[in-house]
Amino acid sequence: MPTLIAWVAWRHWTPARAEVPQAQPVHSVPLEPMGLRADPLADQTVAALIGPWSGADGATGPATDRLAAATRLMAGWTSNGALADWGQDDAAAAAADPAVVAALRAYVSEGRALPAWADAAKVERAEAIFMEQGPLSCTLLFCSSLPECYVLPNLAEVLHIAGQLEQHTEHRIRQTAAMVFPVMMKGGLMDASGAGVAQVLKVRLIHATIRHLILRGEPQTVRGQVAPRLQAGAPTGMHAALMSHGWDVDRQGLPCNQIELAYTLLTFSYSFLKGMRTLGLGLPRADEEAYLHAWNVMGHVLGVRRELMADTMEEAAALFERIQAQARGQTVSPDARPALGRALMQTMERTIRLPVVRGIPVPLTRWLIGPDTARAIGVDERVSWPTRLLFGAGRLLVRLIDTVVRLFSPGFSLSRMFTRIVGYHLLTHFLLDQTRPLNLPDQLLNPLTDTVAAWSDDPGAPGWLNRLEDRWTTTGHWRPAQGVGTTKRPVPDAEAVAS
């Protein structure tokens, strides 16, 4: 028994990165030039919407009206199938500025096409993996993927100025979920009835809008330093904040450049899979590669270059480390990352009603992303000693029990149960609050609610373990008190395209 405990402890405390063999230099693409490459299709579309820039005020007046019109029209992108003939026999498009409609139609026509290498079977398997893990997927999204997004200093700066996320962290979480769930729900990428492609194309235009407004010009033509725009008082509104900030293209690269897009893609694919390994729930190699593949298909729709995509965990680990190493060599002042990281942790803590697990997001995030990354993004605040004791001792005890019991019951996992409990409290607050539903079409919101309701029991766990989980969550289906889809949502405002 002492030998077994020692072995389990060694396996448990060894960083997940050590379990991923270092890849050969399959990703030999130089990163530096990719910092000056953005997304020609989306950038051309936004350039057509904004029109010619007139000094520092190119995106005011009529340009703002056209961006607002584009935002309203994109509300009609309710499914992948709706994109095929969007703009034809559409009352909203018929009443809109023809130039705006033409720009969006050209964008949709080219952007909705999936890559020739997309494998429907792999994408379907990835969807099943995400849904099989259920609330655990949400825990990894909140405690691994989102925190890892803040590691790149320039990307964090863009997030800061685009949304003032320290004050609007919940908005960031909910907007991210509004993209992830349509992508990973059944048929989200490959079926006409899905909505993943439609949602990703909206996000792609948001990135391009941010680039244009920060640089106050077309990204591929701007080099050198974009001076902050002087104005009386603090900027009011999203567009003003973006255009007033300033940017040094030679030092920082383009905002939302190819490196940052590729890294963000990895936070949703590789970080999830790495987190599963850390929790002792690693997937078979074929499943891991299917999951990476599905997100690569999504990355294609998002405008990520194929040479910056990883097909295996070894490739993903190598690229992820290269990009993070590049970020560690950057010096920024002021550094937006700590405020973003702390705001995320505080927001999650406020959502968990159970006092005994309220402080768990901080140590859980540190464990999943590693101490160095945690310090870089400000997830280094002290937690109470009961929380430290509960989490530290619980990790070792859970791994020990799981290791032994799985010899007799392969589906048993306390690790999965506890992360499901955390995920339940996060997703019911952020995603199932019927007073503020996600900004998604009703035909997508209702299936999402049904999907989450079905997560109330872990099909791989014995009945007594599910009953124990109910004591920490709720009994019966995980549904809001009223149907989410019946709640009326506000019409997007003029600046929603850059939010």
Give the tens place of pLDDT for each residue, 39-80. 999 999 999 998 877 655 555 678 888 988 999 999 889 999
Q: Are residues 309 and 451 in the same domain?
A: no
Q: What is the pLDDT of residue 206?
A: 93
Q: Is residue 159 part of a domain?
A: yes
- Verify that 364 and 291 share a domain, yes or no: no
Residue numbers of the domain that contains 363: 354-471
Whether residue 395 sits in one domain with residue 317: no
Number of structural domains, the chain? Answer: 2
Residue 17 forms part of a structural domain: no
Q: Is residue 1 part of a domain?
A: no
- Shared-domain flag, residues 199 and 165: yes
The pLDDT of residue 178: 86
Residue 483 covered by a domain: no
> Are residues 162 and 305 both part of a single domain?
yes
Same domain, 254 and 310: yes
CA angle 107/112/118 to nearest 5° reads 145
Q: What is the pLDDT of residue 13?
A: 45
Domain shared by 288 and 409, yes or no:
no
346 assigned to some structural domain? no
Q: Is residue 401 part of a domain?
A: yes
User: Domain check: are 202 and 99 in the same one?
Assistant: yes
What's the pLDDT score for residue 396? 86
The reply to whether 71 and 140 lie within a common domain is yes
Residues 151 and 279 in one domain: yes
Q: Which residues of the chain have pLDDT under 70?
A: 1-27, 54-60, 163-167, 230-236, 434-437, 480-499
* pLDDT tens column, 246-280: 899 999 999 999 999 999 999 999 999 999 999 99
Which of 307, 336, 365 corresponds to the end of one domain?
Answer: 336
Are 323 and 377 part of one and the same domain?
no
pLDDT in the model for residue 27: 58
Query: Which among 423, 155, 119, 395 has a CA at the least distance from the CA of 272?
Result: 423
Which tens digit of pLDDT belongs to each residue from 166-213? Answer: 557 887 788 888 899 999 999 999 999 999 999 999 999 999 999 999
Asked whether residue 348 is domain-assigned, the answer is no
Show which of 336, 368, 386 is a domain's final residue.
Answer: 336
What is the per-residue pLDDT for 166?
52
pLDDT computed for residue 495 by the predictor: 40
Q: Is residue 215 part of a domain?
A: yes
| HEC string for the chain | CHHHHHHHHHHHHCCHHHHCCCCCCCCCCCCHHHHHCCCHHHHHHHHHHHCCCCHHHCCCCHHHHHHHHHHHHHCCCCCCHHHCCCCCCCHHHHHCCHHHHHHHHHHHHHHCCCCCCCCHHHHHHHHHHHHHHCHHHHHHHHHHHHHHHCCCHHHHHHHHHHHCCCCCHHHHHHHHHHHHHHHHCCCCCCCCCCCHHHHHHHHHHHHHHHHHHHHCCCHHHCCCEECCCCCCCCCCCHHHHHHHHCEEHHHHCCCCCHHHHHHHHHHHHHHHHHHHHHCCCCCCHHHHHHHHHHHHHHHHHHCCCHHHCCCCHHHHHHHHHHHHHHHHCCCCCCCCHHHHHHHHHHHHHHHCCCHHHCCCHHHHHHHHHCHHHHHHCCCCCCCCHHHHHHHHHHHHHHHHHHHHHCCCCCCCCHHHHHHHHHHHHHHHHHCCCCCCCCCCCHHHHHHHHHHHHHHHCCCCCCHHHHHHHHHHCCCCCCCCCCCHHHCCCCCCCCCHHHC
The answer to whether residues 363 and 315 belong to one domain is no
